[in-house]
Amino acid sequence: MLFRSPFSRSPGILLTMAVVDEITQMASAVFDDKTMKSLLPSSVYQRHKENLVSGAPTSEDDMKVLAETLFKWGREQGAVSFAHWFFPMRGGSGAVGGQLGACKYDTLIDLDWSSNLATKPFVATLPYERLFFGETDGSSFPNGGLRATHTAAAFTTWDRSSPCFVMDKVLRVPCAFVTHLGACIDEKTPLLRSNDAVNREGLRLLKAIGLATDAKAVYSYLGWEQEFFVIKAEHYRARPDLVNCGRCLVGALPKKHQQGDLNYFAPVPGTVSELMFNIQAAMLKYGVAMAVLHNEVAPGQHEMSPIYCESSFSSDNNVLFMEVSNKEAAKLGLAVLFHEKPFAGINGNGKHNNWSLGTDTGINFFYPGKTDEARKIYTTGIAALAYGLKQHNSLVRCSVAQAGNDWRLGAQEAPPAIISLYPGTGMEAHIDNVIKGAELDVYKAEKSASNPKCSAAMPAPCGVEDRNRTAPFPFCGNRFEFRAVGSSQNCAFPIAICNTMMASGMAAISSLIEGGMSHRDAVAKIFKENREIVFTGNGYSAEWPVEAKKRGLPNDNTTPLACAKFNSPEAKKVFEDMKIFSAEEVDARAEVMFENYVTTLDIEISTLISMIETGILPACAKDMAKYAAMKDLAGDREATYKAIKVETDKLKAIAAKRPSDLHKDATYINDTVKPQMLAVRAAVDKAEGLIEAGLYPYPTYEAMLYSHHS
């Protein structure tokens, strides 16, 4: 089996299954558990593993051993520098690089401090303090006021649950990023804190219900499905809107796009196939097994997905994937678009987060199982999830609120902005029965079979429940799929919120049982009080928003609406109760959300006006001049071209009236400026169908979506 397209026109990376096995087992560029176990003294390895469960600090002696071992291993992998790799609150919204991690390279050299010389010689080394801890300068990362220029100290500290790896001769150390006073100003720290919350509350819940009490830890797991578009790099560079904004601000649909369902799961075009196999090979070196790759719904749209793993490592892997994709695409003259809606009118990009919780003993809170114990834990887990989604609904919506994602969620596309829970119709009936008095373990997780009713093909095993692609939180057999996550986002924050609301639900059930209520009655009470969150119908229907309103479920279909609720008193309480954020950190992150939204739209407004005035209007003038001698052939051109100027002038006038207050500005942009941007776009897109092809100044949708399919 070859891991490269047979249509490859460049050397690329050619992998046989034997080489894949070798990369996976022997030539990995990640300092994973297997490598660590083989290189560290057994006592140091064991203490490291225990510290990950207990949270105890690594001793100075063990830090020295770990640093020395990592240094030797890293040098063998070709590392000449090391870098703390962290994830500032830069937001998503699709522009290339928006979610890439931050790092600065430090050489693997230090002074020989044991020398008595005034000018000490230097030696090749990885100082153990600098492996575990670092300080960054500069206060330019978004921080919501937690890190001003005159209080700019901030520190990185190794996330010991996410392994180091060597990439481009640099040993990368995944890190949390906090201020001098310990306030988090990154995407990873909330996830790590939320992992502690589900561990703490998960073990507490198991103890309260008296099941699986031999567990010593509860972990959150993540498997992401990354959607993206691929176009030619030359087309990307020729579109200022793609370069600046990650999406096309103007552009008419081609006559053939996705209406024939021709692209979905079709054979991958040759150049894209080569790209994805190269990405797959590169990711294998870093310990990430990309298990799935295929064409998505829209032309030029594709998806890759890894095998699931622990949530912190998996989130890091996704950021790494986006970086690797950009690098590998550039080698082939391609560009990867991670924006949620790079092309208006056709399918948008999501990043479905498949999320689950499990114990170190193999218990999955989201798998029904075949034993009474497993069914009780599963029913209890669904109750905790229902509580979390209902009581902290706005927080879950906030976790995916950003300018780019508004073009999906705000348009009720894959999925709607209304956050609801789909556990399956069978589980819904079980929930109602529990409310009425049924036992927790009567839900039968019996798989059925889909019968093709022919001799050549056997019946296919089906899941316990059907899947609902219109739901933002559907059950998928042994996990729940958070489908609303935007393609350009860092997975860490949405999963941190999932963990937080789940931990809150676990805590609510535990408190009832610890207060004297039976396990069954506590779960029934939670289900009854949060029954409105369960919806197994069509989330795309016109009736659902009406029904959701009756149920008290919010429909915050824009980022300004959603983010306004992030720092509410109720939100601050759950964050403080679960030890995720302080009140100050909540306010800061809310501020960053608004700041990112306003900044994103500000860039879009400026870019659109510039494209009109320097590209579109000159092209219109040149095209109009061709009809000077034959005005009867001009048709609607003059009126259409003038409309572009009129609508653009309106946009400039409206944008000039933006309020100075950040929150008011976000609302004004959303309610007033964006509609005018769409009016400008409508005029330009109409003109695109009239301007002589050779005069239109930017690559068209048709060229971008199809020209690389060779």
Assigned token pair, 365: 């809170």
In terms of Cβ atoms closer than 10 Å to its own Cβ (0-12, 13-18, 19+), residue 155 is middle
Average pLDDT value for residue range 322-333: 95
Instruction: Give the pLDDT score at 552.
Output: 96
- pLDDT of residue 411 exceeding 80: no
Q: How many whole angstroms separate alpha carbon 21 and alpha carbon 503?
A: 39
Q: For the chain, what's the residue count?
A: 710
Is the predicted pLDDT of residue 5 greater than 60, yes or no? no
Which of 132, 128, 126, 196 has its CA nearest to residue 160? 132
Percent over 70 (pLDDT), the chain = 93
Instruction: Please spell the DSSP secondary structure of 12-24, one letter per residue.
Output: ----BHHHHHHHH
- Report residue 96's pLDDT band, with 50, 70 and 90 as the boundaries: low
- Cis before 494 (ω within 30): no
Average pLDDT for 356-360: 97
Q: What is the pLDDT of residues 372-391, one digit of tens each?
A: 999 999 999 999 999 999 99
Contact call for residues 506 and 382 (beta carbons, < 8 A):
no
Phi/psi-derived region of residue 495, left when phi > 0, alpha when psi is between -120 and 50, beta in every other case: alpha
Q: Nearest-CA neighbor of 23 among 308, 292, 306, 281?
A: 281
**Residues 187-204: what's their mean pLDDT?**
98
pLDDT over 60 (residue 16): no
**What is the pLDDT, as a whole number, of residue 668?**
98
Half-sphere exposure of 272 (CA within 13 A, CB side): 28
Can you list the pairs that 693-699 forms with residues at least 24 positions away whose Cβ atoms lie under 8 Å?
A: 695/619, 695/622, 695/623, 696/619, 697/615, 697/616, 697/618, 697/619, 698/238, 698/239, 698/250, 698/251, 698/611, 698/615, 699/235, 699/238, 699/239
Q: Are the beta carbons of 176 and 188 closer than 8 angstroms?
A: yes
List all residues 6 or more positions away from 447 whose beta carbon is below 8 Å from its beta carbon. Answer: 461, 462, 463, 464
C-beta contacts of 15-22 below 8 A and 24+ residues apart = 15/277, 15/281, 20/284
Which token pair is 605? 């407004």
Per-residue pLDDT tens digits for 202-231: 999 999 999 999 999 999 999 999 999 999
pLDDT of 9 above 50: no
Structure confidence by residue, pLDDT tens digits, 618-630: 999 999 999 999 9
Tokens 């706005």 correspond to: 394
Strands (E), 50-196: 81-85, 106-107, 109-111, 122-124, 133-136, 154-158, 165-167, 170-179
Q: Can you tell me the distance from the alpha carbon of 211 to that of 188, in angstroms, rounded to the nearest whole number? A: 31
Dist. CA 356–CA 359, nearest whole Å: 10
Residue 1 confidence (pLDDT) above 50? no
Range scoring the smallest mean pLDDT among 154-168, 239-253, 411-425, 481-495: 411-425
Check residue 8 and give its pLDDT.
34
Q: pLDDT tens digit string along 630-689? A: 999 999 999 999 999 999 999 999 999 999 999 999 999 999 999 999 999 999 999 999
Q: Are 177 and 193 in contact (CB under 8 A)?
A: no
Q: Of 100-104, 322-326, 437-441, which range is least confident?
A: 100-104
Q: Which of these ranges, 28-32, 74-78, 155-159, 318-322, has the smallest mean pLDDT?
A: 28-32
Strand partners for 293: 304
Q: What percent of the chain has pLDDT over 90?
A: 80
How does pLDDT run across 595-616, given as a tens digit for each residue?
Answer: 999 999 999 999 999 999 999 9
What is the distance between the alpha carbons of residues 260 and 304, in angstroms, rounded to a whole number? 23
Q: How confident is the model at residue 466 (pLDDT cuts 50, 70, 90)?
A: confident
The confidence band for 570, taking pLDDT boundaries of 50, 70 and 90, is very high
**Which residues share a beta bridge with 3?**
none
DSSP sequence for 493-530: HHHHHHHHHHHHHHHHHHHHHHTT--HHHHHHHHHHHT
**How far is 42 from 282, CA to CA, in rounded Å?**
30
DSSP state of 305: E
Say what the pLDDT of residue 273 is. Answer: 95
Rounded to whole angstroms, how far apart are CA atoms 87 and 655?
32
Provide the 3-class DSSP secondary structure of residue 477: coil
Q: 451 or 645, which is more confident?
A: 645
pLDDT at 263: 85
* Residue 176 near residue 156, CB atoms below 8 Å: yes
- Residue 143 pairs in a beta bridge with none
CA-CA distance, 253 to 77, in Å (whole number)? 48
Q: Name the average pLDDT for the chain.
A: 91
**pLDDT(14) > 80:** no
Tokens of 693: 């092809």
> Does residue 424 have a pLDDT over 70?
yes
CA gap 610, 224 in Å, rounded: 37
pLDDT of residue 146: 86
Residue 84 and residue 175 in contact, taking contact as beta carbons nearer than 8 Å: yes
Q: What is residue 2's predicted lDDT score, i.e. its pLDDT?
A: 32
For residue 150, pLDDT over 50 is answered with: yes
Q: What is the pLDDT of residues 245-281, one digit of tens each?
A: 999 999 999 998 888 888 888 899 999 999 999 999 9
Average pLDDT over residues 103-115: 90
Quote the pLDDT of residue 264.
87
